C-alpha cells in the first residue's frame, strides 16, 4: 500500500490516510460486534463477521490502531442487528468512495473487496436470517 | 487506455462475463423456474448480460475491439441437479469477483467505480448461491 518512507509524496500520504481510516473503521466495527455479543449472546453466531473486521484491521493498519469506539447496544436483538447493519452500511459507503479515490491500485482493490465483504454482511444481518 | 493494464483487465473481465452468461444459461435449464433458484438464475443472467454489454460499449468507445464469446465452453462437471447448478454458479461468481478486483486495481475513474460495484455484486450473488462470506472477496483466501 502507501509507502510510509516518502511522507513528502502527497499522493502517497493520501493513500495512507485512506488506509488508516479503513483500519480505524474496521476496529470500530469489531468493537460494535463484540459489545453486541456480550449483550445478546444469542447473536454470537455472527462471530465470523466480526472476524472479518479483525482481518480488515490487520490488512489496512500501517501502525497500531487504537481500540475501536463502542456504541450503545440496543436492548432488543432485532434492534441490535439493525444497529450493526446501519454501522456496516455507513462504513461500506465510505470504503466505496475511498476505493474510487485511492491512487494505488492495490489499495483500491483491498478497499473495494472489504466493501464487498460488508455487502455480504448486510445480507446476513437482514432480519429473519437464521 | 489502449494497450494499458486497464484495457487488458477490462478484456479479461469481459471474457469472464461471456463465460458467466453461458453458465447462467445452462443453470437456467436445470433449476426449478418457479423456485428460489429460478429467480436467482434469471436475475443473475440479466445482470451478467448487462455487464457484458456495458464492457463492450466501454471498449468500443476506446476504439478497442471487445473479445468475443468462445464458440463453446466446457463445464468443470456435468450440471444436472440444483446442487450442481449452485456449485457452478459459486465458481463463476468467485471467478468474476477475482476479475472485478483486478479491474479495480488496473483502472481509474468511471470504470473503476463500476468495477467496485461489480465486485460487491459478485460477492453477494455467490453468497445467495451458498458460498460462505469472506473477508476479502475476489482478493484473499477465504
Of all residues in chain B, the percent with pLDDT exceeding 90 is 92
Question: Which grid coordinates are listed for B43?
Answer: 436475475
3-state secondary structure of B77: coil
Architecture of domain B5-128: Up-down Bundle (1.20)
Look up the ipTM and state it: 0.95
Cell of A123: 445480507
Report yes or no: A96 and A129 within 8 Å, Cβ to Cβ.
no
Q: In chain A, which residues have their Cβ closer than 8 Å to the Cβ of B116?
A: 96, 99-100, 108, 112, 115
**pLDDT of B1 higher than 80:** no
Q: Do A100 and B119 touch (CB under 8 A)?
A: no
- pLDDT value of residue A66: 85
Cα dihedral B4/B5/B11/B14 (nearest 10): -130
Chain B residue with Cα closest to A108? B105
CA distances from A108 to A40, B9, B62 (A): 35, 15, 23
For A48, nearest residue in chain B (alpha carbons)? B133
Cβ contact (<8 Å) for A113 and B138? yes
pLDDT at A50: 98
Cα-Cα end-to-end distance for chain B: 32
For the segment B97-122, what is each residue's pLDDT rounded down to a tens digit? Answer: 999 999 999 999 999 999 999 999 99
Task: Record the cell numbers describing residue A39, joined without a space.
Answer: 449483550
Instruction: Report DSSP state, residue B70.
Output: P
A51 touches chain B (CB under 8 A): yes
State the pTM of this model. 0.93
Q: How many whole angstroms separate alpha carbon B79 and alpha carbon B73?
A: 13
Q: Which residues contact A17 (CB under 8 A, 6 or more apart)?
A: none
Of A51, A100, A116, the CB nearest to B112: A100
- For the cut 80, the answer to whether the pLDDT of residue B38 exceeds it is yes
Task: Find which of A45, A112, A126, A130 to mutate to test the B interface (most B CBs within 10 Å of its CB).
Answer: A112
Condensed to tens digits (0 to 9), the pLDDT of residues B5-32 reads 899 999 999 999 999 999 999 999 999 9
Give domain limits for chain B: 5-128
Q: Between chains, do A113 and B113 touch, taking CB under 8 Å as contact?
A: no
Instruction: Give B100→chain A minimum CA distance, Å.
Output: 9
Q: Nearest CA of chain A to the CA of B115: how many Å?
A: 9
pLDDT on residue A12: 59
What cell does B12 get?
479479461
**Alpha-carbon distance values, B45 to A85, A101, A125, B20, B113 (Å):** 28, 31, 26, 8, 22
pLDDT at A9: 58
Ordered by start, the domain boundaries in chain A are 8-62+72-124
Give, as one character, the DSSP assignment of residue A44: G
Q: Which element (helix H / strand E) includes A112?
A: helix A105-124
Please compute the mean of the pLDDT values over residues B51-78 and round it to a whole number.
94
A96 touches chain B (CB under 8 A): yes
The mean pLDDT values, 10 residues at a time, for chain A of 130 residues are: 50 86 96 96 96 97 85 94 97 97 97 98 87
Amino acid at each position: 500500500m502507501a509507502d510510509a518512507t516518502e511522507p513528502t509524496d502527497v499522493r502517497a500520504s493520501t493513500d495512507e490516510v485512506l488506509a488508516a481510516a479503513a483500519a480505524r473503521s474496521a476496529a470500530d466495527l469489531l468493537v460494535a460486534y463484540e459489545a453486541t455479543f456480550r449483550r445478546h449472546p444469542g447473536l454470537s453466531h455472527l462471530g465470523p463477521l466480526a472476524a472479518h473486521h479483525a482481518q480488515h484491521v490487520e490488512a489496512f493498519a500501517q501502525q497500531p490502531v487504537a481500540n475501536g469506539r463502542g456504541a450503545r447496544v440496543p436492548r432488543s436483538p432485532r434492534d441490535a442487528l439493525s444497529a450493526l447493519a446501519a454501522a456496516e452500511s455507513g462504513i461500506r459507503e465510505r470504503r466505496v468512495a475511498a476505493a474510487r479515490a485511492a491512487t494505488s491500485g492495490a489499495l483500491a482493490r483491498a478497499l473495494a473487496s472489504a466493501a464487498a465483504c460488508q455487502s455480504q454482511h448486510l445480507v446476513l444481518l437482514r432480519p429473519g436470517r437464521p | 487506455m489502449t494497450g494499458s493494464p486497464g484495457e487488458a483487465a477490462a478484456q479479461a473481465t469481459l471474457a469472464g462475463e461471456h463465460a458467466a452468461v453461458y453458465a447462467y444459461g445452462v443453470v437456467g435449464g436445470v433449476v426449478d423456474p418457479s423456485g428460489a433458484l429460478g429467480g436467482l438464475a434469471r436475475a443473475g443472467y440479466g445482470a451478467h448480460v448487462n455487464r457484458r454489454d456495458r464492457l463492450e460499449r466501454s471498449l468500443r468507445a476506446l476504439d478497442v475491439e471487445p473479445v468475443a464469446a468462445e464458440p463453446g465452453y466446457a463445464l468443470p462437471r456435468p450440471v444436472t441437479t440444483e446442487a450442481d447448478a449452485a456449485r457452478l454458479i459459486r465458481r463463476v461468481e468467485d471467478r468474476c469477483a477475482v476479475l472485478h478486483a483486478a479491474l479495480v486495481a488496473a483502472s481509474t475513474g468511471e470504470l473503476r467505480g463500476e468495477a467496485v460495484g461489480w465486485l460487491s455484486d459478485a460477492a453477494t450473488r455467490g453468497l445467495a448461491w451458498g458460498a460462505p462470506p469472506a473477508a476479502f472477496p475476489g482478493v484473499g483466501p477465504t
